[in-house]
Amino acid sequence: MVEPEVRYCITEDGVSIAYAVIGGGLHTPLLIGPSAPFSHIRGAVRGAMPGFQVGGLPLGAISKSRPVATFDFRGCGLSDRKVDDLSMEALERDLYAVIERLGWERFALHGMGMTGPIVIKYAAEHPERVSSLVLRETYARAAEMGRIPRMRALGAVLREDWESYLILMEHTMAGGEVTTKGILAEMSTPELIRAFAAATPTYNATAFVSRIAARTLVLGRDDMPVPSGDMLRQLGARIRDARVVMAKGGLEGIQESFEIIEAFLAEDDAQQRQPAPSSSADGASAVILFTDIVDSTALTERLGDGRFREMSRALDAGLRAAIREAGGEAIAGKLLGDGVLATFPSAAQAIDGARRCLALSAASELGLHIGLHAGDVIREDNNVYGGAVNIASRVCGLSAPGEILVSDVVRGMARTSAGVEFEDRGEQEMKGVSEAVRVYAVLGRA
């Protein structure tokens, strides 16, 4: 196949990350987290190393039905080798930089080996972006691997004899069926591999496993001693509706793993093609919640881009979880940057969700404007539209920091069911709305 054009993006801490996109089609895009520290975009695409193809996948085959992107983590392959920070947080910055450059609103995500904790955390924090998740031969907490005798032995060899370590890695990952030692040596340096080995035990995403909402495939191989089948089954048991599958060993198992993954992604494609339940112009009624971060521009200046983005991402993940817990649905197709749009089946649930969001905001440095309105909406392509959505946005814009404002429609629906009091704020003129809308502040429990 024709090698893809290698492109570069820059992380928040100034590291150059190599990435590539190949293939096309209408199916859900796939982002493959490389099996660091052994990754190299060009070597993997050439198919020169069956056990070390990008994330263990034959990139040329899988990209026939969908756009596929992959990258090299810092210290690996074609990315910047001059790095000091190999922490989990640093590798998260690599992943975020690639995702932002790709600009995909929704995609499937694949993680293998030490990449597992990084993609687990991302999927848990961004359910609106990740349509499905593949966790292949990986784990949530890397320290668990250090208790396995073979891994301890491998670490000892790495410290003492680089050449022997490469031979052992070739046997472990490719079943000894192909010669890959020369290719492995091109992927990084002995010093960086040892630095990765020292940093990896701190990688830990166990707190995020149960929060994964995406369809998940946990995949292992019979001849892989680490992680074992039992470890993978335990990981899958903590993820809602996860599917745990063990493939054969050797090169035959690599091909079988690819077929299992392709079938899993095809199911996701089929679900995406199903029409939305309410995609007609008539729509259906819903209670609409808008949130927006207060003075985000000023906060960015005060906190700096990196700190603000880190805090806003954490708050966004918390808001979406709170909305789900209150019975609402954060709209995946509506990416607002500094806010969240959600719908609820009832006013009482929407007010409960708004109060949960406000509590999360109060616990952070980021204030929120929050507004609620109810009416007919049009659902289409994971998004909602209509005049009621516009009014909800205007109500949000009228709210003071730390305040929940609702329209008279929501107040009427929730007056006897939400268990809160309301304060009349009068009729308000709104841009693009022909009639003034009376709004009320939610004061607390009645």
The whole-model pTM stands at: 0.58
Tokens of 106: 């929704």
Q: Picking from 97-106, 181-190, 289-298, which range would have the lowest pLDDT averaged per residue?
A: 181-190
Q: Picking from 33-47, 190-204, 233-247, which range would have the lowest pLDDT averaged per residue?
A: 33-47
Residues of the chain within CATH 3.40.50.1820 domain(s) are 7-273
144-179: burial string, b at 16+ Cβ within 10 Å, e else: bbeeeeebeebbebbeeeeeebbbbbbebbbbeebe
Quick one: which of 382, 442, 391, 392 has its CA closest to 415? 442
Cβ atoms of residues 43 and 49 within 8 Å: yes
* CATH class, 7-273 region: alpha beta
Total length of the chain: 446
Cβ atoms of residues 51 and 180 within 8 Å: yes
Segment 197-204 mean pLDDT: 89
Confidence bin at 12 (pLDDT 50/70/90): very high
Strand, helix or coil for residue 192: helix
The CATH number of 284-445 is 3.30.70.1230
Q: Give the per-residue SS3 of 80-137.
A: CCCCCCCCHHHHHHHHHHHHHHHCCCCEEEEEEECCHHHHHHHHHHCCCCEEEEEEEE
Quick one: which of 10, 8, 9, 13 has its CA closest to 310? 13
The share of the chain scoring above pLDDT 90, in percent, equals 34
Beta-bridged to residue 344, according to DSSP, are 287
Instruction: Report how far residue 399's alpha carbon sits from residue 304's, in angstroms, rounded to the nearest whole number.
Output: 26
Does the pLDDT value for residue 410 go beyond 60? yes
Segment 132-144 mean pLDDT: 90
Q: Residue 277 has what pLDDT?
A: 41
Q: Residue 311 has what pLDDT?
A: 85
pLDDT tens digit string along 50-90? 333 444 455 555 656 788 898 999 998 889 989 999 999 99
Does the pLDDT value for residue 247 go beyond 80? yes
Instruction: Report how far residue 148's alpha carbon sits from residue 364's, in angstroms, rounded to the nearest whole number.
Output: 40
The share of the chain scoring above pLDDT 70, in percent, equals 77
Residues of the chain within CATH 3.30.70.1230 domain(s) are 284-445
Cβ atoms of residues 377 and 283 within 8 Å: yes
Cβ atoms of residues 291 and 397 within 8 Å: no
Residue type, 378: I
Q: Residue 132 has what pLDDT?
A: 94
Q: Residue 308 has what pLDDT?
A: 79
Does the pLDDT value for residue 154 go beyond 60? yes
Q: Residue 4 has what pLDDT?
A: 67
More confident residue, 55 or 152: 152
Cβ atoms of residues 268 and 214 within 8 Å: no
